[in-house]
Structure formats: structure tokens, C-alpha cells
Amino acid sequence: MRETLADWRPAIDDAIAELVPREIDADYLESYFGSPTYAYDPKGIQQALATPLWDLLDRGGKRWRAVLFLVFMEGFGEDPAEYLPYACIPEILHNGTIIVDDVEDGATIRRGEPALHRVYGRDIALNAGNAMYFLPLKIITNDPADLPADRQLAAYEMLMEELNRTHLGQGMDICWHNEREVRIGTEEYLEMCACKTGCLGRIVARLAAIIADQPSEVEAAVAKYAELTAVAFQIGDDILDVENSLGRAGDFGKAFGNDIREGKKTLMVIHAIEASDPERADRLQTILAADDTTDDDVSEALEIIADAGSIEYARDRALELAAQARAEIDGLGFDDETTRKLEEFTEFVIERDE
């Protein structure tokens, strides 16, 4: 899967540059956004949109959502190279959510460098992040694949449905890490992931199915595969944050104890609260709720989580979800190569070390 990601990334970045060039000029603004009522300011738009976007993209990221879309298109019998603009939709959306999420969490580091709001200011970061929710809609409007009107409409409606649900998940996550008590259980956590992270996975799969004119039952099956895989990815991401802080993983690109400092109620935290004795459970909640968390506090919280067996528990749940995802694509008629890539992908999201 790593080879597939590496093979497609340059083409994906080139396609994104067609949508948002590294250098903004008046001709681009007029061609993409229409004639100005008075006069555009390319320099201002460069500083407020293109520069922060490409700053984030150039730091890395695996582009797995875009690549997964292309794998689906190939599996549906289409030439993936013809649909590169559509592959940019989930990728741009994802990076927009990252920017906004970092502002909401007060994050310090993203992909090994200061979070964008700490470089450009909260105002530019929020505007750029929000713009990236809307820019992909222009791809559907411009219709580079010359889709029939009914498929264009279906793509619009799908994006609106999924993006609304994304904000339900983000709202739950924000609410929980602002509360001292860990009052939610595993099912609520998984629902939050299905909304917040799963939405982008579902967008990938549903968009490919809609564009390729697949039956509704195929769309539902690949959407479920992508949702389960995305939830497994989120759990894997939480595990990486802990293991990186414990010195057991590669360069994760976030600050030491990032999730602990933000007070995030991850699956590991929920399990540790349930599995630890009351004194240690209360201490973990106290650390998560603190406004100023020291490195010693973070280390103590990580120790409680590790001692409770919560890392192993979370990894087992992620593996279960990955197995469920693989079962969803059984019988869909994909060729052996597509099936191999899709199955490998469910393993990659858990076993990655950065």
C-alpha cells in the first residue's frame, strides 16, 4: 500500500495545484471564481489561502483518501487518471478539517511544524480551513468528467449529508474534551469517529460509486468499508499519539502527549477509566481536565493507560473493525489486484508507525 500511495502522490499534488495554484494571479481568480464586481486582490488571497494551504500540504501527509478514491475507480473499471480532480475533493476537505481542528484544540504542532494558526494567525487559519470545505464543490460544478446532471446532483447531496454529519462528530469531540468527567462509553466514542473521521472515508467511497454509476447496494457496501477503515485509522492515530509519547513509535509530527494535553477522551482513556482502580481513574480524569499539564503529568497519564492494558485493547478493536471492513467488500466483484489493495489498506491504517 505504501508503494501505491507513493506512486500517486505527485499526480494528486499536481491536480490540487490546478485547483489552488501555489501562485495566485488575477487570471486564475477570474477563471475559477468568476469576474470580480470591482477588483480582486491576488496578493491578499495568496497570503490568506494558497500560502497556508501549500505550507500544510508540503509538510507531508499520505494522501490516502485521494488514493483510495482512485483505487475504487480502477476497481469499478474506470481509468483513475481521468478522475484526478475528483480525488482532490476528500483530500482538500481533510486538510481543511485539520486546520480548523487545530484551532479548536489549541494544537501547537502539526506534521512536525507549528500549527498553521500559530504561523499565520487564527483569522487566516480559520478562513483558509473553512474555504477548503467549499472549494471542492467547484469541482462538481465544473464537472471535468462531464457527468450527467443526476449524478452531479447525487454527488452534491452526498457531500452535504456527509459534511453535516462531520460537524456532529467534531461537536461531540469538542464537548467531551472540555468536560472533566469521562461520562461516555465505547459506543459513543465509535459514533463520534464514524461521524468525524468516517465521513471523509464515506465521501471517498460514495463519490467513486456515484461517479462510476454503481448500484445503491454497491455504494452502501463500499461506504461501510471506508467508514470502518476510517474508524480503525482514528483508533490507530490515537494509539500512535500514545506510543510516540512513550518512545515506541516513529516521528508522529505532533507534540509530546498531544491528546493528553488536549483532554481527549479516546478509546484508550475510556477503557483505562473502566479498567483502573477508582483512585487511578480519578487521577487520569484530573490530568485530562487540567489547564496546564506538565510533562510529568502526561507521563503519569500514559502510565495509567499502559498499565490498564488500554493500548492493546484499542489495537484489538481496530483490528476487529478492519476485519469487518474487509468483509464488506466480499462479493462485490472487484478484480484480485483491487481486492488486494483494499485489504492491504485496512492493515496499513493500523500498522503504520508515523
Domains of the chain in start order, with CATH, are: 1-146 (1.10.600.10), 149-354 (1.10.600.10)
If phi > 0 it is left, if psi is from -120 to 50 it is alpha, else beta; for residue 257 that is left
Residues 121-174 pLDDT 10s: 999 999 999 999 999 899 999 999 999 999 999 999 999 999 999 999 999 999
Residues 53-63 pLDDT 10s: 999 999 988 88
Q: How far apart are CA 275 and CA 282, in angstroms?
A: 12
114 has which bridge partners?
109
Instruction: Determine the pLDDT at residue 249.
Output: 45
* Residue for grid cell 500514559: 302
Q: Which grid coordinates are listed for 137?
A: 464543490
- Please give the average per-residue pLDDT across 103-117, as a whole number: 91
pLDDT at residue 353 is higher than 90: no
Give the model's confidence band at 191: pLDDT under 50 very low, under 70 low, under 90 confident, else very high: very high
pLDDT, averaged across the chain = 91
Count of positions (residues) in the chain? 354
Give the model's confidence band at 96: pLDDT under 50 very low, under 70 low, under 90 confident, else very high: very high
User: What predicted TM-score, i.e. pTM, was given to this entire model?
Assistant: 0.90
| Sequence-separated (6 or more) residues with CB below 8 Å from residue 282 | none
pLDDT at residue 226 is higher than 60: yes
Torsional sign, CA 199, 203, 204, 209: positive
pLDDT at residue 308 is higher than 90: yes
